[in-house]
């Protein structure tokens, strides 16, 4: 897939831990050729950053709304960030280093 390169931050809520969400998301992301990471959060949610061609990133986001068969996704927050191209692969992270999304400014915003 080619086209505009984008970056999205995702926070997925619901029954999304202990259901192979991270491993399945990694497989989906790698199959689609996107990079980034996914990790469990202490509040029971899953957090991810996905970079790649817009079409592929949007497919990962669509998948995240369903998740693997045992998941029960309640909601997905998506924040579009400026593309950085900082990843070589899509990985599962185990750290809890705080991550603050930096949204793309809309035209007219200061």
Annotated catalytic residues are 22, 40
Contact 51, 83 (CB under 8 A): yes
Contact 39, 50 (CB under 8 A): no
Partnered with residue 79 across adjacent β-strands are 9
C-alpha span between 88 and 81 (Å, rounded):
18
């Amino acid at each position: 897939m080619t086209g505009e390169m984008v970056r999205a931050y995702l926070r997925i809520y619901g029954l999304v831990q202990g259901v192979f969400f991270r491993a399945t998301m990694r497989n989906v992301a790698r199959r689609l050729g996107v990079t980034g990471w996914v990790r469990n959060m202490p509040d029971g949610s899953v957090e991810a950053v996905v970079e790649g061609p817009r079409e592929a990133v949007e497919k990962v986001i669509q998948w995240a709304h369903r998740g693997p068969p045992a998941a029960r996704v309640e909601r997905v927050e998506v924040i579009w960030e400026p593309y950085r191209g900082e990843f070589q692969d899509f990985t599962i992270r185990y750290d809890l280093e705080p991550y603050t999304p930096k949204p793309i400014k809309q035209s007219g915003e200061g």
